[in-house]
Amino acid sequence: MTLVKKSFSSLAQALVWALSASSTIAFADQHADGKSADEKTVDKQVEVISIFGQRNQLETATGSAFIVDQQALEQFEFDDIHRVLQSVPGVYLREEDGYGLRPNIGLRGATTERSSKVALMEDGILIAPAPYAAPAAYYFPLMSRMSQVEVFKGPSAIKYGPNTVGGAINMLSRQIVSTAEPAQGQLDLAYGEDNYQKAHGYYSGHHQATDLGTFGYLVEALTINSDGFKELDTGGNTGFHKNEFLAKVNFAPKNSDYYQLWQFKLGYSEEVSHESYLGLSDGDFQKTPYRRYAASQNDKMDWEHYQFQLSHYIELDGNTSIYTQAYRRDFDRDWDKFNNFNTNRSMQTILSSPDTGLNALFMEVLTGQRDSLTAQENLIFTLNDRQYYSQGIESKLLWDGRWLNADLALDIGLRLHQDQVDRHHRADQYLMRNQQLELAGVAQQTAIENKDTATAIASYINANLDFGDVNVTAGLRVEHINGEAKDKLIGTETDVTDTVVLPGFGVFYRINEQLGALFGVNKGYVPNSPGQETNIDPEESWNYEFGLRYSDNGLQAQMIGFFNDYTNLKGTCTFSSGCDQTLDQEFNGGAVEVFGIEANLNTEFVLSQSLTMPISIAYTYTDAEFQNEFQSYFSQWGHVQAGDPLPYLPENQLSIEIALAHENWRAALLFKHLDAMPEAAGYGTELEGMMTEQLQQLDFSAWYQVYPELKAYFKLDNVTDEAALVSRRPFGARSGKPRQAMVGVKYSF
């Protein structure tokens, strides 16, 4: 273990060296054949960092596959990943703050809680602050700098662990222009309601020198700000600002026996958001859904994120290539927020029955109608200070050839990874005085001080055989994970090691030129976080799917039935899940069955020589039930009986996009329907029998090409100003974003 830790220290030093060395890289000319190295390799590199790429065409993919391309991303100019993914079948979303700052994404029954059971990636690298030790996605990049979002569910998910139950989401950042393209850039400025402001710019180019090779570069900066749509009882800002900076450097050497491409990527992000876990009572929500109680006036999240990535692609011959990435990510967050009163009574209990007994007295203090009078009415605020890092090196070998009279594409990958979370939570007591918060004069207490570290060696092999009418995919993933947990308050340390083998298999059969059938099966797995009790089992499942895919000129359609058979489902106690017990404690949920249907259709009607009507429809049906009876202290379960549904999984969800498209303009309407969802599974728990509200939401967007270099756009989110109750977690009822209008311009040069 000491040797592994030293190796990671050396890796970090190497990345720092690479940053300083990149400024000394020289540039080069073209290869002898007249085509530059980066022209020959840039497409291949994009293919490797993409889940799909050219090796897994969507038409013959052996699993459920969906791409949100750059045109779709730019049509609605969504900053919120929830709204980007709402048109993807088989994706479940639970809103929390209305802006998607800390998204809750699930795939095929995997819980939406902080997207912790989905393999989230940017350019093929896991982006959760600590993907093994603490996978909750408190960090998430801004969508405006992404060029593509890929969603994959099924057998090939085994390539993108550690979480393989639901699937994988990969976001591709903007690529450096190749030498075949001129240098180019863009400036994007927008303004909207709630003082929404966006400024986004990038520039990418290349330079050729005579001696060494070709040099390419990209610089990108993005800032988004808003005053927020919620209204504090005391007035004040409920919004946020986020800034991101990204730089990339490519180098393709000239005098090499092989085509090669080096890339260094550097990124910095920061956020300050005046967000709270405190919601409203149902009664107050019905009257003023965008209200914020006075007790949450000091709540603020403040974080910084750094990423360093050094990549190398080499093409050994026409059939063999190797792609290697060394990476380091650091995430430092402070979240100062109201948690509870100085009592054992939970906030859910107070907000669920706000007019009875002591609850009514607590509500008066919560809203600032009355000052704190007793020690029990002191308000507990915690500063949740956490530092994360995630680092590693992974290499993928890709080989194309012939075997058994079939085209064979073989992927082999190996990753050495380590991540860590260091928690330091401190609690202060405040008094409510004239609707303002004052320190109560009670000594600060340390609530949590611990450190969890995970080290993993992961490998996979995945083979795709194309026989013409039959396309077969078979793969195997092996993970060896060591978890270390150190509780600094009580002085305990635990060390747990686990090894898991995860197979996957899929087949696509081309019935005719337009129609094909697919079948897939894979083993799903979510590892335990460090420090769990010995009776907590990892989350495991067998996942099956069968479907049809149709593609013919202007019509593409797909329908897939899926069945996830869990031997054990896990729940995790976090503040965001509405839990106020031992944080990050995991719970066994036993056997669960999730089955459903995913369907999507894309077509285009030609209305005239210059006008078309594109239409996209996505539908998901889901039935998810526990298969056994048990008693759990997890806040979302309670006493569960066989047949109880899983929380926050809608039975039906539907997305319809209809557009009018012209060469110089395009206008689109996007409709979303989401069934009401249960907030808890069993009885004898808070929010028992409670449901979210049905959501029907309409978004509009349009753009017009004023000049070849200038585009103007307009968008109206939530056209009907829907104020549905989307969740009562973490603590109290909350809504999504109200109607928001925004205008912007893009200048390309």
Mean pLDDT of the 462-470 span: 93
Give exposure, 536-546, as e/b (b: 16+ Cβ within 10 Å): bbbbbbebbbe
Q: Is the pLDDT of residue 167 over 80?
A: yes
Average pLDDT over residues 109-117: 85
As a whole number, mean pLDDT of residues 648-652 equals 95
Q: Is the pLDDT of residue 17 over 50?
A: no
Confidence of residue 154 (pLDDT cuts 50, 70, 90): confident
pLDDT at 46 over 70: no
Average pLDDT of the segment spanning 587-608: 95
| Mean pLDDT computed over 499-508 | 95
Bigger pLDDT: 208 or 254?
A: 254
Superfamily of domain 2-748: TonB-dependent receptor, beta-barrel domain (2.40.170.20)
pLDDT of residue 44: 58
Length of the chain: 749
Q: Please, what sign has the CA dihedral across residues 229, 232, 233, 236?
A: negative
Q: What is the mean pLDDT of residues 708-737?
A: 95
Q: What is residue 2's predicted lDDT score, i.e. its pLDDT? A: 42
> Do residues 444 and 458 touch, judged by C-beta distance below 8 A?
no
Range scoring the smallest mean pLDDT among 149-153, 166-170, 577-581: 577-581
Mean pLDDT, the chain, integer: 90
**% residues pLDDT > 90 (the chain):** 78
Inform me whether the pLDDT recorded for 530 exceeds 90. yes
Task: Give the span between the Cα atoms of 119 and 125, in whole angstroms.
Answer: 9
pLDDT digits (tens, 9 = 90+) for 221-262: 999 999 999 999 999 899 999 999 999 999 989 888 888 999
DSSP-derived secondary structure for 360-418: HHHHHHHTTSS---SGGGPEEEEEEEEEEEEEEEEEEEEEEEEETTEEEEEEEEEEEEE
For 265-282, the three-class secondary structure string (H helix, E strand, C coil) is EEEEEEEEECCCCECECH
Report the C-alpha gap between 705 and 682 in whole angstroms. Answer: 54
Query: DSSP letters of 317-341?
Result: SSSEEEEEEEEEEEEEEEEEEEEEE
Higher pLDDT, 61 or 297: 297
Q: Residue 54 above 70 pLDDT?
A: no
Per-residue model confidence (pLDDT) at position 658: 97
Predicted pLDDT at 52: 62
Residue of higher predicted confidence among 452 and 52: 452
- Residue 48, classed as helix, strand or coil, is helix
Specify the pLDDT at position 257. Answer: 86
Residue 489: predicted pLDDT: 93
Q: Inform me whether the pLDDT recorded for 628 exceeds 60.
A: yes
CA 612, CA 666: separation in Å to the nearest integer? 10
Phi–psi pair at 255, nearest 5 degrees: -90, 75
In this structure, of 153-157, 391-395, 467-471, the range with the lowest mean pLDDT score is 153-157
Query: Is residue 216 pLDDT above 50, yes or no?
Result: yes
The Cα–Cα gap between 665 and 609 comes to 14
Give the pTM: 0.90
pLDDT of res. 249: 95
CA angle 720, 82, 415 (to 5 degrees): 175
Residue 64: pLDDT band (50, 70, 90) is confident
Mean of the pLDDT values across residues 678-688?
A: 92
- Rounded to a whole number, what is the largest CA-CA distance in the chain? 85
CA distance 254 to 211: 7
Q: Which pLDDT value is given to residue 198?
A: 98
What's the mean pLDDT in 618-642?
Answer: 94
pLDDT of residue 209: 67
pLDDT digits (tens, 9 = 90+) for 126-139: 999 999 999 988 99
Residue 62: pLDDT band by 50, 70, 90 thresholds?
Answer: confident
